[in-house]
Structures are given as C-alpha cells and as structure tokens.
Structure 1
C-alpha cells in the first residue's frame, strides 16, 4: 500500500509539473524550461556537493556575464558559475554551523594561513576604503571564489580520483571555447589581430584573459602527454590533439604576455627537473635584478629605441613586447603601473580600498604618460598587475599578503615534487607548478583573479597542491624540503 501511495504521488506531481511547463511554453515564458536544471542543482547542492562543485568547474569556461543579457545593470555576475558559487558558499556556511571545523592539518597548513591573512587584510582595507561599498563587494566576490575553489575544493581533492576529473571538466568546455574562437577568427582571417582580441567573447573578456588560462593548462596537458607513462594509445592521441590545439590557440590569441609567461614557466620547469637548488635560483634572480638596476639607464634607452608595434607578423609581434616608446598597449600598461605606485605613495598602509583602482587612478595620470587608449572614466580595466593592484588598493601589507601566497604556493609545489611518495604525485605537482608559474609571471602584466575564469583554476590548483602535500608527500616541512631541493 505505501508503495502504491508513493507511485500515485510521483505520477501526480510529475503530471502537474509537465502541465505547468506546457502552459508556460504556450504563453512563451521560456525561462521556466530551466526549472528542471535549477532543481537538479539544488538537489546536488544538498546531497552531492562534490558533483555540484565539479559542475561549477565545467560551466566556468562557458559562463557568460549577466550584462550581456541586461546591459543596463550596474553590477555583473558570470552566469551560471558565480551564481552557483554563491549558493555553494551559503551551503558551506550552513554545513560549518552544523559540523564545526574542517580538518585541523588543513586549517593550519602554511598556505591556508597565508590565504586567511590575505583575506583578513582585504577585509580590513575594505572597511577603511575610500569607496566602502565597492570594496566590500570586491571582498565578498573574492571570498566566494576562495571558499569554493580552495577551502571546499580541498575536501574533494582528498579523493585523488577527483583531481583528473577537475582538470578534464575545465579543459573540455575550454576546448569548446577554443573551437568557437577559431570559428570567429576564421570569419575575419586567422592573422587578423584586431579580430582575435574579441573572438572569444562573450565567454572571455578579451584575448589576454583567454591566453592566461591556456598558458595555465598547457603544462597540464604536457604533463599528461610526456610525463605520464601508463596511458592507453587512444587516450594519448586525444591528449596529443588537445595539446596541439591549446598551443595553436595560444599562438593565435596574440597575447604577448601569455606567450612570455609560458616560455619563462617552461624555463622554471627545466630548472626544477634539473634539480637546480632553489637558493641558486633566488640568488641568480637577485643578481639579474641587481644588474638591471645598475644598468637600468642603458636598458631603458635600448627599449625606447624599439619602435616595433604589435603586428600580425608573429616575429614583429614578439619583438614589440619590449617597445615602450610607441606601442600603445605597452605604454598604457606602464601608465597604469605608475599610477598604482603614485596611489601607493599617497596611501602606503591601508591603500585606497580593494576594487577601487579603476575609479581612483585617473587623477594620478601625468600628461606625458597618457596614451591614445587612456581614460578618465573608470571604464577600461585595472592596474594590469596582480602585484601593483593590491599595493595601490590595500597598501604594503596587501602587496605582501599576495606575494606571500604566491611564494608559499611555489615552495609547497617544490616540496610535493621533491618529497612525493609516488611518481604520479611528483609528475602532477610539477605540471601544476609550471601552470601556476605561468600565472605568477603573467600577473606582472595583467590581473584576472577577480574573475571566475582565472580564480577557479588558480585557487583549485593551490588546493590540489595542499591535498598532495598533506596526503601524498613525506615528512619534512616546506622550508626543509626547499633547502634540500
């Protein structure tokens, strides 16, 4: 009898739901067709959070800014990824109130502590901001990125099977975006650089953000292809095809910053594989910085003589990287950096407030630094740096917290690689470390961690390294391992 009653209710509710859907379709209210998908997400959010998070990962490359549909809105969200992340944040807070704290080793891991300090200082500088509402919204958006992609992601990455699932669930939709971009570029010609700048819209803002993400995942595919020995032939061919596709997409993205960051990250990969001591790398970097500082006048004079502007010719486009005299993109980037430093000089401790750079930098521009693409209206981007942006917005402590997170992430990656118990762990860690290194370098020239496209893979890469560190690497603390490397 109970079974018959349940069957009755199932068919009754299903029929009612179907009739309701048909009525809405008849009156051309089509958004109601999304209701089953919404109900599915709510079910996953409460009963299968791991699948729910991996679904967010899958939708991230395919998400579209809300302003694409409603241009009049004063705020923007990436749909559906950010809306799902907000839901995930509320569920995590609810679960935390019921179950208490998460794993102690994770909470007191050096990288977790560094990220917590980074968030705390961002909150403090938001409260003292020149534009508190802007800064608090900026802080909240960063908080939901990190809560989902780092703190929760660690829980699912303790199951090693979820690591390749995460990587593939980002790369598969990214492949669709690449094909979409190539299709758009083909309409205008693959060598049309101007068309390439926006061919990936609405999925990515521009070619630089698109290139940065490609540069992060190319080392992952390279690791699967060249480092992983046990792979079926068919799988190897698929990975090989994607590896070539991602490299081709990067080339035709015309993102010079992405090209440079991947090339330098490959150099770091070689140094790691050769087991060059970390202290030697740091010493070499200090010597290079010292030489640059000593001969900076000569170097700048050489750069100023470079008149090559960005071009459809790959050789000319590469050589234009060093043109700080006539290339508008390079000159505007330097203009933004100088503004960030002047803003820092004005408010060195607490800064102007997270997320306020674009609204505050205009008065700090000097006439001789302005370019044809300069603006006073706060409608064209930010400080073009993951380092100088926080310096201007959150003061010296904000800059140091960002630098601390990046350095610790690199050191932990080295530790996992050098102290891994199993070969797959060392191979995975060096691939992730190379991808992260490309972003650390790219961060000198652009900043994208305020977007879901970059934040989810970036913070998830860090969560994977911590999961590997706590569960699959031997003893020693991070500083001992680096000293031994």
Structure 2
C-alpha cells in the first residue's frame, strides 16, 4: 500500500479539518436546502474524532451535571415512545432531532481541548454570522427586485433571527479580542446583526438580543467600549429607521410591538393539554402536538387559534412531550448550564480568551434558549454547540477538606 504523503500524515491538518467540519455543521443547521453539506461536516468531524483516540476527550466530561441532565432528558423523551399516543412518530422524532447529539459531542470535546482549535472555532462561529448577514441581505435585495411589496411581509425574514441571535455574541467576542481596524470591523458586523434582528419584527428575537447584551455587558463591563458600541449602534439604528424604506425597518419595528395571540392560542392550549397527561405527556414529536391541538380546537371556544402553530416555547414543548417530569428536567438543565456559564465567564478564573469564549457561549445560550426559547419554538440542534464549551470551560467545584 502506498503510504500517505507527509502532509496528510500531519495530525494538525486533520485537527483543522475536524474543526472545519464542526463549523460547516454549525452554519448549515440554519440554512435551508443544504442538508448534504450539514451531514458532510458532521460526518467528517466524527470520522476524524474516531481515529487516534480523539473520541476519548469527551469521556471526562460526561459526568458533568449538565451532561447528566441532558442524557436523562433525552432518555425520558425516548422512553415516552412506550406511552406515546403515536409511538412511531415519537421514535422517528427523537431519532431525527437528537441523533446528532451523540455524533457531535466526541469531535466537539476534542476540538475544545486545544487553545488553537478553540480560537478557530470561535472565529468560525463569528464568520458564520457574517454568512447569515450576507444571505439575509441577498434575500432583501431579491425581494426588492422581484416585488417591493414583499418587504411588507414580516414573516419572510423572521427565521433569520434565530442564527443571528446565536452568532451575535461571537462577533462581540472577536471585536473584544481584536485591535485596530479588525476590531471596528467585528463590532460593525455585530451592529448589523443587531439591526437585522430588530428588522425581523419578532419580540422574542428582541428580548433575546436584550438578554445577550445584558449578559455580555454584565460580565465584561468597560465604560469606553460600552459607550463606543452603544453610540455606533444607536447611530446606525437611527439611520436605518429614518433613511431605509419603511417596509424594510420602520414597519417591521411597529409590527413587532403589536399584540400577540400566544396566551390563548399557543401557551394556554399547551398547558391545558399538559394538564390532561401531567405525569407522562403525549410523547415527543411536533406532529403529535399538531394532531392533538387540531383535534380539540373546534370545540374549544377559548382557543383563539384554530389550527396548530406549535407550543411556541421549548419548555412547553418538553412538558407536552414528557409531562411535568420533562418540564422539570429541561428547567433544571438550563439552570445548571447557566450557572456553569456564569462561573466559567467570571473574571480571574481563567485566561482572558477562554473566559470570553465562555461569555460568548453563555450570552448565546441565555438569549437563544432561556429567553427566546421561552416565547418561541427554537431548534434543539444548536444546544450541543453551546453546552460542550460551557461544560469544558466551567471550573470544577472545589471539594471541602
């Protein structure tokens, strides 16, 4: 057999490819029509992690409370197939939503074990935000050229608020670490992302953005940076409000302040159905929620929506699927992750790049899952991307003598 060229025998090359695969996956889970690229990134990272004992890097972290709670929650969702109103749908949904958790954790923890790989990953997530900005901008241009009236449809860009919220803190991270012109470029990207989040007209996205900023500034307060970032952001928002076409920003801002039917159309019905099966739930799977909602809606006079739009909350999604035990598990999981993130992002606990990476992951988690996840349905697939770094970077508790 012909030996591999020396360049291909270099472990550093394969480590870079592994990190690139993770970044490709991280971006593609938010892009439509690129499932093949998403799977390519994940499978590439997984296969490389299976060689040379790289996969063993994850073993030391499986006993972390956040990992144990995650495994318990996924196990409960899987067990719900035994009492689900539609067992086949539950098994299919659990496999489709959570199989990547088992596949991505080995390469993720190996990637995190090296400072250079952590730096590549953090910068890659910031650049993924740039890709989302470019794709979203291209959609605006396409709609403007096709029919300017399309800009009045506030729903066409609402989905982009999810990746923008997730990647926004990593632009702040790069701006915080950079100096000179690159610093202004990264902060400029963060401001554009914030503007695009506002332009979605989604209050959940606005609340998530506010939470990201509160967490970030609360842990990394610096008066000079705060004034510079706030001034630049305010100037651009004012310019966008008064100079851009009204449908592009101003109308979206007004639409986002309109009242919602969530209380009587999504959250209320979800809680009502949860109380019907409080211990076990109905089984995991969005089709099950839609089926049960649509079956009851015609006879429920208090339900303001007559066709399911989902529970509009990752907490209620968990509760409907697995009863109050699942609701308790996901609440405990998110609390443990948040506390671990606070400890990892505390000043003086570890070198500044690692602390800021933990802060970016904490801010993204607080905005995406804790805040937006409470008022809207969000993707489960992004959770390991934030969970693994926070578990890895959170310092172990000191045992009492």
Per-residue displacement from partner, 1:312-350 (whole Å, max 9, x unpaired)?
A: 535633532xx3xxxxxx215631212211211111111
Query: Which residue number in structure 1 is paired with residue 362 of structure 2?
Result: 433
Instruction: Tell me the residue number matched to 2:314.
Output: 386
Q: CA deviation at 1:367?
A: 2.0
Q: Among residues 360, 383, 392, which one is paired with 2:292 in the alignment?
A: 360
Match of 2:325 in 1: 397
For residue 258 of structure 1, report the CA deviation from its aligned partner.
0.2
Matched, 1:54 2:11: no
How far the C-alpha of 1:161 sits from its partner, in A, is: 2.6
Cα drift, residue 99 of structure 1: 8.9
Q: Distance in 2 between matches of 1:126 and 1:82?
A: 27
Q: Is the 8 A contact 1:343 1:364 kept in 2?
A: no
CA contact (8 A) 1:340 1:383 kept: yes
Q: Distance in 1 between matches of 2:254 and 2:144?
A: 22
Contact 1:150–1:462 (8 Å) recurs in 2: no
- Native 8 Å contact 1:261 1:442 kept in 2: yes
Contact 1:45 1:88 in 2 (8 A): no
Q: Which residue of structure 1 aligns with residue 193 of structure 2? A: 246
Aligned equivalents of 1:116 and 1:336: distance in 2? 28
Q: 1:359 to 1:191 in 2, by over 3 A?
A: closer
The alpha-carbon deviation at position 189 of structure 1 amounts to 4.2
Structure 1 Cα separation of the partners of residues 318 and 92 of structure 2: 16
Calculate the aligned-residue CA RMSD, in Å. 3.5
Distance 2:104 2:43 in 1: 13
Question: Does the 8 A contact of 2:46 with 2:106 survive in 1?
Answer: no
Task: Tell me what 2:151 maps to.
Answer: 192
2:266 corresponds to 1:336: yes
Q: Deviations over 1:55-109 (max 9, x none)?
A: 3234344441xxxxxxxxxxxxx622554477469859x949x998654421111
CA distance, structure 2, for counterparts of residue 334 and residue 272 of structure 1: 37
**1:209 counterpart = 2:159:** yes
Counterpart CA distance in 2 for 1:216 and 1:393 is 25
Output the CA distance in 2 between the equivalents of 1:100 and 1:464.
Answer: 16
CA contact (8 A) 1:85 1:145 kept: no
Provide the rounded CA distance (Å) in 2 between the counterparts of 1:166 and 1:87. Answer: 18
Give 1:414's aligned residue. 342
Tell me the TM-score normalised to structure 2 length: 0.76
In structure 2, the CA distance between the partners of 1:446 and 1:463, relative to structure 1 (3 Å rule), is same
TM-score by length of 1: 0.64
Partner SS for 2:115? coil
Match 1:152 to one of 88, 103, 107? 107
Q: 1:465 to 1:190 in 2, by over 3 A?
A: farther
| SS of structure 1 residue aligned to 2:375 | coil
Whether the 8 Å CA contact 1:57–1:166 is kept in 2: the answer is: no
Instruction: Write out per-residue CA displacement over residues 438-467 of structure 1, whole angstroms, 9 at most, x where no aligned residue.
Output: 1111011111224xxxx23x3212212222
2:376 is matched with which residue: 446, 452, 460? 446
For 2:210 and 2:111, locate their aligned partners in 1 and report how far apart those are by CA, in whole Å: 32
**Aligned mate of 1:316, from 247, 251, 254:** 254
For 2:334 and 2:105, how far apart are their aligned partners in 1? 14
- CA shift, 1:384, in A, is 0.7
- Partner secondary structure for residue 85 of structure 2: coil
Q: Is the 8 A contact 1:89 1:147 kept in 2?
A: no
CA drift of 1:51 comes to 3.7
Q: Which residue does the alignment assign to 1:476?
A: 397
How far 1:220 sits from its partner (Å)? 2.2
Could you say if the C-alpha distance between residues 352 and 261 of structure 1 is closer, same or farther in structure 2, counting changes exceeding 3 Å? Answer: same
What per-residue deviation string (whole Å, max 9, x for no partner) do you get for residues 164-223 of structure 1?
A: 2441452243233222222134344499331x422xxxxxxxx34321221222222223
In terms of Rg, which structure is larger? 1
Q: Structure 1: how far apart are the matches of 2:18 and 2:216?
A: 34
Q: Which consecutive residues of structure 1, in runs of 5 or more, have no partner in the other structure? A: 7-43, 65-77, 199-206, 275-310, 324-329, 481-485
Runs of 4+ aligned structure 1 residues displaced above 6 Å come to: 44-47
